[in-house]
């Protein structure tokens, strides 16, 4: 059992040292004891990719890059503890709503907010935070009962803590032995580490963290006690008093003192030689070294630029222009460029709409709601179409999903994105026609072709141009394609028996 802290400033090669150690171990013994790299969710794939990229073998059997959550699941599969149901956000909200209704008479303030949008979500976040820092309902009750601690608190604060303690206590009683929150896996993991043979024979590297919550600390201490070796990487300079290192400094001091209390020895490997990340850019190296340092030190180094824009759109356009210049004039590749912003929600729509105009491919690191997924929109609105006589709004909600698009017509060298954009333009023409002529269900299902006239009311003497004939052909092609699918679906839907008429099968004994 060995415990090691790798400390150093940003860019000195801490992660590179870890990757090289793992590479050497895997090259020497490709099927040796397991190696776990525990990192934040967004970092695990990148670490595994880097390891595979530098490995001399086409695959890695020993190494797994996991977050704490996935690591808990992995170990509990071995030791047991996954028999209870996992509560997702919906299940958690339903259970908390049940607790709220049952304990409504005992609550002082929360009944007035129970029906407010987002209230249950905030309560679930608070309970998750309590679990992360190992705060129990009894501790909350003891806090509000201690007169000395609440002497400076307002009456409303005491009532709020009392209400959340009641809900938390009842929630724990209902879920005991039946349900698990994500945070409960950490508690189970810290209890089961001592019984895992996998952990006893494994090497652990923890990278990408500046601070650990209470549950993660308990897991780390148990790993240090029972694992083959544990290496923790922290961005910290032991010789610096800069506030930049306040969080990792606190983390290192806390873990070191706890290890001393447990009687466990550890070693410190501090990296100080050179800065590999910024060696070709003196401006960034200067900024990393002098950031939040007083007094300030001036530098004439180049490499950091500032510009001011009147609004967010102009700001994104300027960024796109500069990226376009770097790619086409200075020989950079797209994967050499990253964009960081503290307000991703504000910028993601602008980036998604502006970057394609400059032919810049971009990956946006955010999660989309399933409610706006084309398949979910189709499933939701197709029944509205059936029940409301093919109403125009519902019809075009499902048509614009693109799931009625005939993909067999896409040319070999044509990208799907270009074909989809062309289809959307065709749908716009179709929608304008349906709005202008107030197309109803019977019009969609009629056998006769629709007649397109660019200028209505000109009489029999109006001669259609080739463009008019092309639009008319497009409209009738789309009409037949869409109406045939919906008509077939409607007929099959009407033949189905209601669920109440189906016989109930007896439950297995």
CA-closest candidate to residue 183, choices 194, 198, 172:
172
Question: So what's the pLDDT on residue 509?
Answer: 47
Average pLDDT of the residues in 480-485: 92
> Hey, how many other C-beta atoms are within 10 angstroms of the C-beta on 305?
7
What digits encode the pLDDT tens for the residues 285-296? 888 888 887 778
Q: How far apart are CA 99 and CA 84, in angstroms?
A: 19
- Would you say residue 484 has pLDDT above 50? yes
Question: So what's the pLDDT on residue 147?
Answer: 58
292: region left, alpha or beta (phi > 0 left; psi from -120 to 50 alpha): left
Buried b / exposed e over 379-405, threshold 16 CB at 10 Å, is eebbeebeeeebeeebbbbbbbbbebb
Question: So what's the pLDDT on residue 196?
Answer: 92
Question: So what's the pLDDT on residue 206?
Answer: 96
What digits encode the pLDDT tens for the residues 413-461? 777 878 888 899 999 999 999 999 899 999 999 999 998 887 665 555 5
> DSSP secondary structure string, 78-93?
HH----SEE--HHHHH
pTM: 0.69
- Would you say residue 506 has pLDDT above 70? no
What digits encode the pLDDT tens for the residues 215-235? 999 999 999 999 999 999 999
Question: So what's the pLDDT on residue 125?
Answer: 92
């Amino acid at each position: 059992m060995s415990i090691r802290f790798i400390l150093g400033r940003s860019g000195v090669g801490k992660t590179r040292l870890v990757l090289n150690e793992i590479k050497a171990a895997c090259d020497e013994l490709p099927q040796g004891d397991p190696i776990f790299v525990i990192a934040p969710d967004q970092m695990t794939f990148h670490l595994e990719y880097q390891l595979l990229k530098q490995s001399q073998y086409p695959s890695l059997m020993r190494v797994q890059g996991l977050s704490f959550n996935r690591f808990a699941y992995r170990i509990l599969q071995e030791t047991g503890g996954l028999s209870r149901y996992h509560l997702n956000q919906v299940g958690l909200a339903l259970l908390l709503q049940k607790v709220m209704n049952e304990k409504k008479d005992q609550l002082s303030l929360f009944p007035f907010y129970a029906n407010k949008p987002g209230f249950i979500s905030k309560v679930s976040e608070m309970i998750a935070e309590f679990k992360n820092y190992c705060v129990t309902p009894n501790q909350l009750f003891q806090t509000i009962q201690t007169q000395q601690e609440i002497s400076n608190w307002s009456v409303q604060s005491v009532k709020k803590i009392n209400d959340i303690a009641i809900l938390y206590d009842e929630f724990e009683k209902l879920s005991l032995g039946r349900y698990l929150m994500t945070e409960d896996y950490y508690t189970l993991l810290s209890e089961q580490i001592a019984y895992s043979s996998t952990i006893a024979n494994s090497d652990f590297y923890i990278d990408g963290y500046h601070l650990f919550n209470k549950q993660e600390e308990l897991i780390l201490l148990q790993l240090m006690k029972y694992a083959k070796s544990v290496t923790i990487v922290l961005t910290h300079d032991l010789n610096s008093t800069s506030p930049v290192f306040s969080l990792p400094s606190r983390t290192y001091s806390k873990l070191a003192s706890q290890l001393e209390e447990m009687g466990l020895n550890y070693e410190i490997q501090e990296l100080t030689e050179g800065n590999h990340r910024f060696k070709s850019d003196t401006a960034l190296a200067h900024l990393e070294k002098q950031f939040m340092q007083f007094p300030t030190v001036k530098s004439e180094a180049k490499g950091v630029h500032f510009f001011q824009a009147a609004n967010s759109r102009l700001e994104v356009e300027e960024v796109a222009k500069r990226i376009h210049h770097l790619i086409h004039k200075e020989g950079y590749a797209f994967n050499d460029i990253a964009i960081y912003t503290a307000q991703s929600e504000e910028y993601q729509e602008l980036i998604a709409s502006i970057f394609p105009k400059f032919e810049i491919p971009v990956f946006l690191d955010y999660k989309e709601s399933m409610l706006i997924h084309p398949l979910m929109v189709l499933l939701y609105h197709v029944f509205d179409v059936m029940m409301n006589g093919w109403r125009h709004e519902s019809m075009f909600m499902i048509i614009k999903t693109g799931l009625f698009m005939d993909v067999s017509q896409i040319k070999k060298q044509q990208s799907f994105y270009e074909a989809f954009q062309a289809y959307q333009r065709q749908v716009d023409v179709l929608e304008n026609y349906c709005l202008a002529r107030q197309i109803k269900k019977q019009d969609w299902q009629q056998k006769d072709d629709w007649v397109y006239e660019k200028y209505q009311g000109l009489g029999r003497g109006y001669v259609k141009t080739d463009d008019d004939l092309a639009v008319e052909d497009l409209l009738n092609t789309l009409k037949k394609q869409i109406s045939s699918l919906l008509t077939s679906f409607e007929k099959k839907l009407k033949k189905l028996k209601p669920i109440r008429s189906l016989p109930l099968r007896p439950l297995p004994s």
